Structure 1
Amino acid sequence: MVSSYGVKPGFKLAAFATLFAISVVVLGSFTRLVDAGLGCPDWPTCYGHIWAPQTDEQINRANEAFPEIPVDLEKTWPEMVHRYLASLLGLLILILAAVSFRYRHRPEQPFKLPLLLLFMVILQGAFGAWTVTLKLWPQVVTAHLLGGFATFTLLWLLTLRLRGAPTGLRFSSAPRQLPRVLAALTLAVVIGQVFLGGWTTSNYAALACPDLFTCQTQWWPEADYIAGFDLAHPIGPNYLGGHLDVPARTAIHMAHRIGAIITTVMCLWLIWRLVAIRFAGLASALLLILVAQVTLGLSNIYFGLPLTVAVLHNLGGALLLATVATVNFTLYREAKHV
């Protein structure tokens, strides 16, 4: 039933699915960062087992079947937990789509967005399978990361739509000049930066520049941008650890650094405009996440990519994307009422 606050059917489920999705994103980044992406070299089983080979006999048989990727139980568990949690997320989204279909005739009940989410989670399942079967092919690994961020963000937007009531981030009425174009451009820049982050991690380029604020003690080191951004990597090799040489990885890392500067400038510009139109809550939220994300990015380099910081940096990227998407959603909603 629809409450007096405009809450629509499926709101609580969408909110839970959103929290579940960000957990899957975090576990996915952990799995990738501990090099467990091939913790199970087959899909959907793990060395032919529902969980993983356990006995000595099972492990020996698995090693004979997959001699290039011997069993490492410390890497099988994050991979399999991630698979099962991602499957449960798919089930939640399927239920959300069913609820949306049932109540599709109600006023302002979202229907297309749950269907888009259902398509996204199916595509994510395919990317997850291809990540394994194509042996961490960078194109697929990057697409899988983008898809995970997109799924979380879309679930968050669905939750906002099902909530119906204002987000509570707006402190006073806004003028008619809403910075919708700036917000859209900032969203595009953030998406581009997420791609660069995914391309950096899938090509193992995070430590190509181990120093701050120079790179290899130079402001502009030798870098091969053509090789670094060649999207035609051959299918077949095992890409665990990466295949690119140092100049190509340097190019990827430098592009991510430059992208971070552009993203920061765009977000600060958007924050300034949000403050100007008295959207102090949204501006504060975006500033907080931006500062945290920049700090985590710098810490990754300074401390040599510690696991906790690297995982939090992935989480920060997802939250930044969702926050900028929230800004766009809010400005679009306000534009319909001015």
Structure 2
Amino acid sequence: MRKIFNAKTIQTVHLSTVVFALIVVGLGAFTRLENAGLGCPDWPKCYQNWIVHPRITTPALTHDASYKAWIEMIHRYAAGLLCAGIFYLNMWQNRSNSMILRITAICTCLQAAFGMWTVTWKLHPLAVMPHLMGGMMITTLLTVDYFQRYASQNNTQLIPKSIHRYLHLLFMVVWLQIMLGGWTSANYAALVCPDFPLCQGQWTVPIQHFIQGFSAPFGFQNYEGGVLSGQGRIAIHVSHRMGALICCVIVGLLIHQVAYYRNKLPQELIQMTGQLSILFALQIILGVLNVVWTLPISTALMHNLIALALLIRIVTMCTSYSAQSPPQTIHRQRSFHAD
């Protein structure tokens, strides 16, 4: 049986799992944007059935409810297939080099739990936001593991400490910014500021509004549509914009450092930085368009996926390079390990 599951087959499955994870994240974002998170009021079944079919959806449900049920169950089916792919990889990959996959499997179990709580807790923000972040984390881990196994050379390239530090700082800030985006989505705060760059005609938000915005709500039967006050949602939205501004500053500093050391850096790092800059500029444009165009599904979906692409690019850059002690010399440090 192991001859059937040879190295080439496993690599193909791994790549397919990465691509499928991207699709599942997109489906999750689409489900959220279509307000279909409660399209199926029960879990794991949908209206007490495993498959949504005409006997269930008509005439018992309205057309809109039927549509949302289909969206939710397609997302669940896809997530189930992704889980199968991840556990397959854990079963057949080389056990001596599968720590990332093991972490991914644990995250997948937690993701399934948060997917259940998203439904049973009626879209409570404390279930929705971790569920959104879990999808990002799983896809990033799968991509990094694939990159390290099949797409990278067996060496660690050394770069100046300043660039290395900025990369890791950018990772932390972007991760926090994605969390802010998840909190914005979970509390339905994306449309609370219809203007840009101001929000409701103002530059500042009182401190007490931030306290409202970042206090988890409790005691409600259903959290669909959001239950926070308008002031709290404004504070959340403004925080997300402030996070984007901080990201701009750090990306600018990283670009400056790469330009300063450009004659001593690996060409791949310069190219990756260029790709990162393009993705980040596109993300900012999409964020603005989400406001001025009143959150169209196409741009909002791309905003989610570009955020994931940014995270993956930053993590692959962080894992591909190490900080060198003397900043004047760039060379490669070979790592020898048994195949």
| TM-score category (smaller protein) | 0.7 to 0.9
Q: Show the counterpart of 1:209.
A: 193
**Aligned residue among 78, 85, 93 for 1:85:** 78
Determine if contact 2:171/2:315 at 8 Å carries over to the other structure: yes
**Aligned residue among 107, 111, 115 for 2:102:** 115
Question: How many equivalent residue pairs?
Answer: 314
* Cα deviation, residue 15, structure 1: 1.6
Determine if contact 1:97/1:114 at 8 Å carries over to the other structure: yes
Q: Show the counterpart of 2:327.
A: none
Structure 2 residue 151 is the aligned partner of structure 1 residue 138: no
Determine if contact 2:136/2:308 at 8 Å carries over to the other structure: yes
* Cα deviation, residue 11, structure 1: 2.9
The change in CA–CA distance for 1:149 and 1:235 in structure 2 (over 3 A counts) is farther
Question: What CA deviation, in whole Å up to 9, does each residue of 1:67-98 have, x standing for no partner?
Answer: xxx98111011100000000000000001101
Which amino acid in the other structure matches residue 215 of structure 1?
C
Determine if contact 2:192/2:230 at 8 Å carries over to the other structure: yes
Q: For the residues of structure 1 that align with 2:203 and 2:106, how far apart are their CA atoms?
A: 44
Determine if contact 1:271/1:286 at 8 Å carries over to the other structure: no
Q: Show the counterpart of 1:230.
A: 215
* Cα deviation, residue 332, structure 1: 3.4
Deviating above 4 A after TM superposition, structure 1's stretches of 4 or more consecutive aligned residues are: 56-59, 173-178, 333-336
Q: For the residues of structure 1 that align with 2:46 and 2:90, how far apart are their CA atoms?
A: 30
Determine if contact 1:135/1:236 at 8 Å carries over to the other structure: no
Root-mean-square deviation (CA, aligned residues, Å) is 2.6
SS of residue paired to 1:190: helix
Question: What CA deviation, in whole Å up to 9, does each residue of 1:247-306 have, x standing for no partner?
Answer: 000000000000010012112222333343532111111011101101100100111111
Determine if contact 1:215/1:221 at 8 Å carries over to the other structure: no
The change in CA–CA distance for 1:111 and 1:15 in structure 2 (over 3 A counts) is same
Q: Show the counterpart of 1:35.
A: 35
Which amino acid in the other structure matches residue 289 of structure 2?
S
Structure 2 residue 34 is the aligned partner of structure 1 residue 50: no
**Aligned residue among 146, 151, 164 for 2:138:** 151
Q: Show the counterpart of 2:288.
A: 298
Q: Show the counterpart of 1:72.
A: 65
The change in CA–CA distance for 1:128 and 1:57 in structure 2 (over 3 A counts) is closer
SS of residue paired to 1:224: helix
Structure 2 residue 285 is the aligned partner of structure 1 residue 324: no
Structure 2: runs of 5 or more not aligned? 1-6, 325-330, 335-339
* Cα deviation, residue 216, structure 1: 0.8
Identity of aligned residues (%): 35
Q: For the residues of structure 1 that align with 2:205 and 2:166, how far apart are their CA atoms?
A: 33
Q: Show the counterpart of 2:333.
A: 337
The change in CA–CA distance for 1:165 and 1:175 in structure 2 (over 3 A counts) is closer
SS of residue paired to 2:115: helix
SS of residue paired to 1:332: strand
TM-score by length of 1: 0.86
Q: For the residues of structure 1 that align with 2:158 and 2:322, how far apart are their CA atoms?
A: 12
Structure 2 residue 100 is the aligned partner of structure 1 residue 104: no
Determine if contact 1:59/1:71 at 8 Å carries over to the other structure: no
Determine if contact 2:43/2:116 at 8 Å carries over to the other structure: yes
Which amino acid in the other structure matches residue 28 of structure 1?
G
Determine if contact 2:158/2:322 at 8 Å carries over to the other structure: no
Q: For the residues of structure 1 that align with 2:319 and 2:64, how far apart are their CA atoms?
A: 46
Which amino acid in the other structure matches residue 77 of structure 1?
W
Query: Bigger shift: 220-229 or 194-203?
Result: 220-229
SS of residue paired to 2:321: helix
Determine if contact 1:8/1:162 at 8 Å carries over to the other structure: no
